[in-house]
Amino acid sequence: MTDDKALYPPVDPVKSGLTGHCPRCGHGRLFQGLLKVRPSCSACGLDYSFADSGDGPVVFVILIVGFIVVGLALWMEVNFAPPIWLQILLWAPLAILLSLLTTRLMKGVLINLQFHHNAGSGKIDQGTQGPRHG
């Protein structure tokens, strides 16, 4: 991935991640649909098989969306005391919508940062043996 710097100018990983673009060229689309990552970039041909964001984006989404929705629901309860059915009707769709949109943003940023820092899965070196006991 370091050879790409000669062919492609540096791309800001946060900006290209938030917009859902390729981490190498910044032009091709990263997503196919809402959350599914494309097989490769249509502009530069980068293979997206390295892209494994795992559960990282969802952790951020839970914290961010939970803070917003619970805070707004508590504020509304204290100031207006609406019935529970109205609370559910308001906050459930908002939580779902914010979760989907925020997951896409966070997934794009984490995949772009993964490419930018040449990160990969952790591997255990099988060639070395630990200390012998006894």
Provide the residue range defining the domain that includes 61.
Answer: 4-116
Q: What is the pLDDT of residues 84-124, one digit of tens each?
A: 999 999 999 999 999 999 999 999 999 999 999 988 766 66
Domain-located, residue 130: no
Cross-strand pairs, 36: 32
Whole-angstrom distance, CA of residue 54 vs CA of residue 61:
13
Beta-strand runs (E) in the chain: 31-32, 36-37
Residue 60 lies in a domain: yes
Tell whether 38 is covered by a domain: yes
pTM: 0.79
Residue 33 lies in a domain: yes
Q: Give the count of domains, the chain.
A: 1
pLDDT given for residue 78 in this prediction? 97
Does residue 4 carry a pLDDT above 90? Answer: no
DSSP 110: H
Give me the mean pLDDT over the 1-27 stretch.
85
Q: What is the pLDDT of residue 55?
A: 87
DSSP state of 21: B
Nearest alpha-carbon partner for 92 in 65, 112, 115? 65
Neighbours of 8 (CB within 10 A): 17
Greater model confidence, 18 or 120: 18
Nearest to 103 by CA among 73, 60, 50, 70: 60
- Residue 63 in any domain: the answer is yes
Domain assignment present for 35: yes
CA–CA gap between residue 11 and residue 45 (Å, rounded): 16
Going by pLDDT thresholds of 50, 70 and 90, the confidence category of residue 130 is low
